[in-house]
Amino acid sequence: MSASPRRFARNLPANFPAKPVVHALAHLVGYTAARIRSPREDLRTEEAERLLDCLVQAGPVYMKMGQLLATRSDLVPPEWVQTLRTLQDDAPHMDAPQSRAAIERELGAPMNSVFREFDPVPVASGSVAQVHSARLLDGQKVAVKLVKDGVPRQIDQNLRAMGAAVRLAQRASSAVADADAVRRFGEIATLFRSQANMLHEASRQKAVYRNFEGHPYVRVPRVIPEFVTPRMLTMEFMEGIRGNAAHEVQMPQAQLARRLQDTIYTMLYMHGLSHGDPHPGNILFSESGELLLLDYGITVELTEDEKWGLSSFYYACTRKEWDVAVERFTAHFVTGTRTLRRKWDAYRAELAAVLEHHFDVVSNRWSTIGYFRDVSDLLKRYGARYTSSFTKVELVFLSCEGFATQLDPEINIWDNARRFTDRYSPYMSKEVRERFDAHFGTQIPSSLKMRDRANNSLVAPTHINRYFFPSTYPVFVKDAAGGRIRDLDGNEYVDLSGGYGPHILGYSHPVVNEAIISGVTAGNVNGIGHEPEVELAELLVDAFPAAEKAILCNSGTESVLLAVRLCRAYRRRDVVVKFEGHYHGFSDQGMVSSWFRFTGDKHAPEPIAGTLGSDSGVVRNTLVFQYGDIGGLDRLREHADRLACVIVEPMPSSTAAIDEEFLSALRRTTADLGIPLVFDEVVTGFRVAYGGAQTIAGIEPDLTCLGKIIGGGLPCGAVVGRAELTDMARSSEDPFLDYEKKAFAGGTLSGNSLTCRAGNAVLTHLRDHPTLYEDLEARTRWLRAEFEESTRKRGIACRINARGSIFSLNFSHRSAGVYRERMAGSNFKATIALAYYMRKHGVYLPELHSFLLSAAHTDDDLAVVGKAFDLSLTDMAGDGFFVT
């Protein structure tokens, strides 16, 4: 923090005086009238000084209003802006003896027992607190934020007086009552009161710090928890250029303004926890243009649903889908909707017109205040209003716009907003699509023709009409061998899809080919006994120490359906526990809370359907937990009586990491409670080790779900585990008892001889070549290091997780937190675009964030992949994917 001019050398008044409040308000009214009467410019500075004095005398809440006005150069004259800015960081403060006494009171100890140095003159002073620089005994430089004596009481006095006025106004005026002013004021009052509570502020600051850890240009001071008390907050000291002196920053002001806007949007849309008061006194800049976010006295929190509502609403606006935007806006941010529901058509048309006007017609002169005012007037006419969350969002947008406009008067707010929103959409923008259209039209014309032909007769949601991750330029394969595929036009690619997992030995491996050919020669049978199915069961049971028996089926999805049914039958209970972000196949149960839509508190999520068409009963009968949260497992005990089983991916693909401590705790707790534990090792089963992630972790589940590799590339699945559970599907040889006590498992093609022969060939090969796993791990590490070097040297925020041939890549700085938090920061557009750029450079990546190596990939193949990634990043940077 740079030195301040410190115009105030006196303390705040101890009590709330009525007169200055009246003066302050009279000024605002008087100024407007005077402007209309005679534009006496020479009086503006004097007026501003008088107003400033009145606000200071009136108390912290009024000072806050002054701070807000200081960011609105579009509303008040420049002399006012200049003078009122003083309130942002140079408001009156306590003198040295007062500050010292306050600190010793908070510490309960002499100052020198904690601080080696302490500057008694604050570096900044806002409406509620003042900030001192100091040095801890270990030499670390810190900032100590101290609530000014008397301020909590003054806030209380201010708010009580204002509250009385609002109540009076509400009684006297139906317009004020319609606006639900008393309730809204109550919410704002709560926000103000929390400003003087440093424990609350420290917890918010810590959360924002975690959210921005690793961010390319946003910094948040680290809290030093040992020296945090209700009135004092100690944190890492950050030097920087004040918001009002941003011209000193070595970066174009337009870029700085865009960074500011992106930062606020990231907090609101992605993190759901935003700085609530982003005025220039609270945001500093480093010389190179980093943003240092200070002061978490006011924060705005949005639920998952509100974040979803905000993003989906703005997304519809960027696509000019006004009716959809009206639906989303009304569903998420409007209350009191009875009248408007009755007059829906008129309301919809009117709101659509307002949205179109602001988001399209006058969008290059975007005005947040104008937009909010128009929508608010319209809602009022229909007896409705914004939700309190949206009111808070509005305040943040207003401050942000004021500050951003101060940095760059030419800023095109809506254009930036559209660019921001677009980054998180999986669909390419028009410009990028045109570039790809031209390129792929030449590189893969036959595939594109086949895509168009397929679209007439085939819906293939996993690879052509891909759900959520669109596949605009699908590749159609002519042949595949080893680690490579060749498309219809003869282009060869190093393949990293691995067919989503089965082809661990590469395509067309001799042992698999021979097994399939011999199976064809012998005649493929199903629904009749044959040796290969017994052999496959034996191989599976031998591979997993905890397994006694196996049941075969046709896919990973089926194996999960079967495992859950066995557990429900065994326990005679319905409720299934699963983990947020874990995908267990495409059944209703497998998809609950599994992808990009979550809801409820992150520590105790509520279940939400993963797809339209899910049975709501299945969703209701699911409890959702967080992988890695050992403390959260206590909830298992609360619900133990209702639980059929717990299902988990022991090594979730999204992190490619095994949390052994967590899995041990989960095993202990489920064993204590007698609840079956199911490991979904459909991906990891024979990929990360022979015997899967459970072999690495040394943990024995009750059941294991398998698929992919065990069929050697043909459709296959299996449940293996304790006989007590698998035997639920075994006949009792009494038809009545079967119905009463057994669970049915079936499948015409389950365990067909061709699949079993192919599976046996692969598993036998893997079992007999254990060093194959070591090689895969070494190659995984090598490639990961190559990727990391490519992103590091370009300063691109990218998280790459990899283990045992499984990679997960996200263009995001976030690596901490639960699944929904890590995913929320991801640049989906860049991830999908990467797949297309890689294809230009000879590598096939699926349009997902995960990909796989096979044992057939050669050193040459890996070198091609490393180089393609490097070249792709260069292309992408050139095409504006990583603008910061």
Active site amino acids: 583, 680, 708
Give min distance, CB of 72 to ligand PLP, in A.
Answer: 52
Give min distance, CB of 681 to ligand PLP, in A.
Answer: 8
Whole-angstrom CA distances from 849 to 386, 422, 559, 682, 833 are: 37, 18, 24, 18, 11
What is the dihedral angle through the alpha carbons of 544, 547, 550, 556, rounded to the nearest 10 degrees? -60
Residue closer to ligand PLP, measured from CB, 696 or 863: 696
List helix spans (H) across 343-496: 344-356, 368-381, 388-407, 413-423, 430-443, 445-457
Give min distance, CB of 656 to ligand PLP, in A.
Answer: 12
Residue span binding ligand PLP (CB under 6 A) among the ranges 314-322, 325-333, 551-559, 778-786: 551-559
Q: How many residues bind ligand PLP (CB under 6 A)?
A: 13
Mapping DSSP to helix (H, G, I), strand (E, B) and coil, where does residue 36 land? Answer: helix
Residue closer to ligand PLP, measured from CB, 266 or 555: 555
Q: Which listed residue (707, 721, 759, 866) binds ligand PLP by CB under 6 A? A: 707
Residue closer to ligand PLP, measured from CB, 240 or 713: 713
Q: How far apart are CA 827 and CA 425, in angstroms?
A: 8
Q: Which listed residue (217, 570, 583, 844) binds ligand PLP by CB under 6 A? A: 583
Residue closer to ligand PLP, measured from CB, 114 or 683: 683
Question: Considering only CA atoms, which of 74, 144, 78 is closest in space to residue 116?
Answer: 144
Binding mask 507-546 for ligand PLP (x = CB under 6 A): ----------------------------------------
Residue closer to ligand PLP, measured from CB, 405 or 555: 555
Q: Which listed residue (500, 579, 828, 869) binds ligand PLP by CB under 6 A? A: 500
Instruction: Compute φ and ψ for 705, nearest 5 degrees.
Output: -95, 135
Give min distance, CB of 654 to ligand PLP, in A.
Answer: 10
Residues between 644 and 683 that touch ligand PLP (CB under 6 A)? 649, 680, 682-683
Give min distance, CB of 129 to ligand PLP, in A.
Answer: 49
Whole-angstrom CA distances from 765 to 229, 758, 760, 871 are: 63, 11, 8, 36
User: What is the DSSP secondary structure assignment for residue 769, as one 8-state letter?
Assistant: -
Residue closer to ligand PLP, measured from CB, 267 or 651: 651
Q: What is the CA radius of gyration of the chain?
A: 31
198 token code pair: 């440093």
Q: Which listed residue (64, 451, 549, 584) binds ligand PLP by CB under 6 A? A: 584
The three-point CA angle 23-25-26 to 5° equals 60
Give min distance, CB of 556 to ligand PLP, in A.
Answer: 2
Given the DSSP bridges, would you call strands 643-648 and 677-680 parallel, antiparallel or unpaired?
Answer: parallel
Q: Are 70 and 84 in contact (CB under 8 A)?
A: yes
Residue span binding ligand PLP (CB under 6 A) among the ranges 278-286, 581-589, 789-797, 808-816: 581-589
Give min distance, CB of 551 to ligand PLP, in A.
Answer: 15
Q: Based on the number of CB atoms within 10 Å of its own CB, is 58 exposed (0-12), middle (13-18) or buried (19 or more)?
A: buried
Residue closer to ligand PLP, measured from CB, 718 or 783: 718
Residue nearest to ligand PLP (CB): 556
Give min distance, CB of 633 to ligand PLP, in A.
Answer: 21
Give min distance, CB of 182 to ligand PLP, in A.
Answer: 52
Residue closer to ligand PLP, measured from CB, 649 or 702: 649
Bridge partners for 291 per DSSP? 218, 285
Residue closer to ligand PLP, measured from CB, 585 or 817: 585
Instruction: Assess 555 for contact with ligand PLP (CB under 6 A).
Output: yes
| DSSP notation for 336-378 | --HHHHHTHHHHHHHHHHHHHIIIIITGGG--HHHHHHHHHHH
Residues between 245 and 274 that touch ligand PLP (CB under 6 A)? none
Q: How many CB atoms sit inside 10 A of residue 65's CB? A: 18
| E strand residue ranges, 106-230 | 115-118, 124-125, 129-136, 141-147, 218-219, 223-229
Question: Considering only CA atoms, which of 580, 652, 662 is closest in space to residue 806?
Answer: 652
Residue span binding ligand PLP (CB under 6 A) among the ranges 237-245, 552-560, 755-763, 767-775: 552-560
Q: Which helix (H) or strand (E) holds 186?
A: helix 181-194
448 token code pair: 């594109």
Q: How far apart are CA 318 and CA 742, in angstroms?
A: 54
Instruction: Assess 552 for contact with ligand PLP (CB under 6 A).
Output: no
Residue closer to ligand PLP, measured from CB, 231 or 578: 578
Q: Are 199 and 228 in contact (CB under 8 A)?
A: yes
Binding mask 113-142 for ligand PLP (x = CB under 6 A): ------------------------------
Given the DSSP bridges, would you call strands 622-625 and 575-579 parallel, antiparallel or unpaired?
Answer: parallel
Q: How far apart are CA 446 and CA 475, in angstroms?
A: 9
Instruction: Assess 692 for contact with ligand PLP (CB under 6 A).
Output: no
Q: How far apart are CA 473 and CA 465, in angstroms?
A: 10
Q: Which helix (H) or strand (E) holds 66?
A: helix 60-70
Residue closer to ligand PLP, measured from CB, 808 or 872: 808
Q: How far apart are CA 222 and CA 237, in angstroms?
A: 9
Give min distance, CB of 718 to ligand PLP, in A.
Answer: 11
Residues between 319 and 378 that touch ligand PLP (CB under 6 A)? none
Question: Considering only CA atoms, which of 549, 578, 563, 590 is closest in space to residue 743?
Answer: 563
Give min distance, CB of 644 to ligand PLP, in A.
Answer: 18
Q: How far apart are CA 520 and CA 275, in angstroms?
A: 66
Residue closer to ligand PLP, measured from CB, 60 or 715: 715
Residue closer to ligand PLP, measured from CB, 76 or 504: 504
Residue span binding ligand PLP (CB under 6 A) among the ranges 218-226, 556-564, 608-616, 692-700: 556-564
Residues 6+ apart with CB under 8 A from 348: 323, 326
Show the 3-state SS of 678-717: EEECCCCCCCCCCCHHHHHHCCCCCEEEEEHHHHCCCCCE
Give min distance, CB of 716 to ligand PLP, in A.
Answer: 8
Q: Which listed residue (557, 655, 752, 780) binds ligand PLP by CB under 6 A? A: 557
Q: Based on the number of CB atoms within 10 Å of its own CB, is 695 exposed (0-12), middle (13-18) or buried (19 or more)?
A: middle
Given the DSSP bridges, would you call strands 806-810 and 129-136 parallel, antiparallel or unpaired?
Answer: unpaired
Residues between 585 and 604 that touch ligand PLP (CB under 6 A)? 585
Q: Which listed residue (556, 610, 632, 817) binds ligand PLP by CB under 6 A? A: 556
Q: How far apart are CA 279 and CA 292, in angstroms?
A: 12
Q: How many CB atoms sit inside 10 A of residue 529's CB? A: 9
Q: How far apart are CA 511 and CA 517, in angstroms?
A: 10
Give min distance, CB of 807 to ligand PLP, in A.
Answer: 14
The three-point CA angle 626-628-630 to 5° equals 90
Residue ranges that bind ligand PLP, judged by CB under 6 A: 500, 555-557, 560, 583-585, 649, 680, 682-683, 707
